[in-house]
Amino acid sequence: MGEDNVFRMIGDLYGELERSSVRPLFPADLAAASRRSAAFFVGLLGGPPLYHQRYGNPMMRARHLAFAITPRARREWLACFDRVLERAPERYAFPTEHLPGFRRFLGDFSLWMVNTDDGTGDLVDEAGDRRPDPTASGEAAGGPIRG
Ligand code: HEM
Distance 2 CA to ligand 1 centre (A): 21
| Domain 3-135, classified CATH 1.10.490.10, yes or no | yes
Residues with CB under 6 A from ligand 1: 22, 25-27, 33, 36-37, 40, 55, 60, 63-64, 67, 69, 73-74, 77, 106, 109-110, 113
CA distance from start to end of the chain = 7
Q: Which amino acid is at 92?
A: Y
Residue 128 pLDDT greater than 80, yes or no:
no
Mean pLDDT of 103-122: 90
Which protein residue has the closest C-alpha to ligand 1 atom 21? 64
Task: Tell me the pLDDT of the chain averaged across its residues.
Answer: 88
Whether the model clears a pTM of 0.85, i.e. scores above it, the answer is: yes
Residue range 18-74, pLDDT digits in tens: 999 999 999 999 999 999 999 999 999 999 999 999 999 999 999 999 999 999 999
The domain segmentation of the chain, as residue ranges, is 3-135
